[in-house]
Amino acid sequence: MNRELNTLTAHELIDELREGRISPEDIVLSLEKRVNEIDSKVNAYVRKRGQPSLRGSQNIPGGAVPVSVKDNICTEGYNTECCSKILEGFIPPYDATVITKIKESGHLFFGAKTNMDEFAFGSSTENSYFGATHNPWDLNCVPGGSSGGSAAAVAADEAVWALGSDTGGSIRQPASFCGIVGLKPTYGRVSRYGLIAFASSLDQIGPITKDVRDCALLLKIISGHDPKDATSVNIPVPDYTRALGKDIRGFRIGCPKEYFVEGLDPEVDFCIKGAIEKLKNLGASFEEVSLPHTEYAVPVYYIIATAEASSNLARFDGVQYGFKNKDANLIDMYKKTRGEGFGDEAKRRIILGTFALSHGYYDAYYLRALKVRTLIKNDFDKLFKEFDCILTPTSPTAAFRIEEKSGDPLKMYLSDIYTISANLAGIPGISLPCGFTKKGMPVGLQILAKHFDEEKIFSLAHAYEQNTEWHKMKPPMK
């Protein structure tokens, strides 16, 4: 092999394993070497003192390619802490369904969790109890969030592929910032059993990978009905790799005018327009369309998401597991445990959500937000009757500098303005690289499709990827 194994895609490694040219242990050792060399700069992984090996105590199957996993996905026998002090030391007694599926497919969990915003609350991976993650393209910039650790690890070749969770863009936005591929599946396509909940009606686990083929492979592995998850949908799972390499001539693509307005960085706009021209040359047709309720997406999201978060996080009180302030008075123990255990952003969202659900405000805020959410979903449903896919920027900007927006929560929340609507509507969306800014930071292209139509997303994304070189670019880290 001319290249280090950690730099290869999963499908390249699978081919090497089948031919007997390498062993799974070779892959793990290559990854460990890379992590030990550079992760002190990136901080993509949450590692404990005294943990000598990232592979842990797992037996390595013969055809295994290690999958890195976000710190809010339960792994039996391994710390799962949502990068929060309040869950410090929590070791789940069971695997999340996606972890079970990964093991059943012959692969394995890479024995260290990836860093994230605490309880997935953030767009920058700065809100972690274990410190901020840095973007491998520029260590002074954020990798996006909340799945920034998974995205940074894949981009820096510290991971072959990874799992993240996406509540309002937390897979797609960091994939955009780090110049890789990230997909939010249709709500219900992938089991949420074992995912520590942020907002239950929005959360979805999905793949973060180096290219579109790996994304299709990993989605196939983790998808499927799960009786342990009441929101899991019982429909067949296709072989997504069969959608790759198809002719996209005749594809009808809508470009919503609401996504190309003031606030979109000119350099991002230039890259997206270039991607549109490339797809036109490949035979796809484009038309300007409208998603008229887009302007309400951010406020609707932050009412619904914080309301659900305040309910989901009520269980973390120091009684059953995790951090506990051992005060003699029960009420004071609750207050001090939650006051010391949660970070600032978690407290902010719990308070916002509790307010939205409180007596006298439930109808005015939460119930009204649910009604507008339906209007947003209806906008998409109407367009998908005429169009195969919708194309937008993933984020209005490329990665911003660390601490640039941390003092202004509203400005930070707007980082997800182009990704939130897909979660509210429950539709699938992918981000893939489509260029760079003048400062050398990646720009992401977002493709959306109707419910359970990930195959069209993969067809379009793969056609674009294979006719460009962006996915082959690597960060300048040594």
Instruction: Indicate the length of the chain as a whole number.
Output: 478
User: Nearest 5°: phi and psi at 435?
Assistant: 150, -175
Q: CA 88 from chain center: how many Å?
A: 22
Is 335 assigned a catalytic role? no
| Dist. CA 136–CA 430, nearest whole Å | 21
Selecting among 30, 68, 70, 405, the annotated active-site residue is 70
The answer to whether 287 and 387 are in contact (CB under 8 A) is yes
d(CA 117, CA 415): 14
Report the distance separating Cα 153 and Cα 159, nearest Å.
5
170 is known as an active-site residue: yes
Alpha-carbon gap, residue 57 to 109, rounded angstroms: 11
Asked if 27 and 4 touch (Cβ cutoff 8 Å), the reply is no
Strand partners, 430: 183, 447
Between strands 45-46 and 108-114, the pairing is antiparallel
- Are residues 303 and 194 in contact, defined by beta-carbon separation less than 8 angstroms? no
Task: Give the number of other Cβ atoms within 10 Å of residue 236's Cβ.
Answer: 8
Q: How many Cβ atoms are within 10 Å of 141's Cβ, its own excluded?
A: 21
Q: Which helix (H) or strand (E) holds 429?
A: strand 429-436
List strand residue ranges (DSSP E) for 148-227, in order.
Answer: 161-165, 181-184, 205-209
Question: Which candidate in 30, 146, 232, 310 is catalytic?
Answer: 146
Q: Nearest 5°: phi and psi at 99?
A: -70, -40
- 234: buried, middle or exposed (CB in 10 Å: 19+, 13-18, 0-12)? exposed
Indicate which residue of 165, 170, 176, 415 is catalytic: 170
Alpha helices by DSSP H, 118-171:
148-155
Residues with Cβ < 8 Å from 430, sequence gap 6 or more? 172, 181, 182, 183, 184, 212, 215, 446, 447, 457, 458, 461
- Give yes or no: 146 in active site: yes
Read off φ and ψ for residue 410, nearest 5 degrees: -65, -40
| Contacting residues for 468 by C-beta, under 8 A, at least 6 apart | 278, 434
Catalytic residues: 70, 146, 170
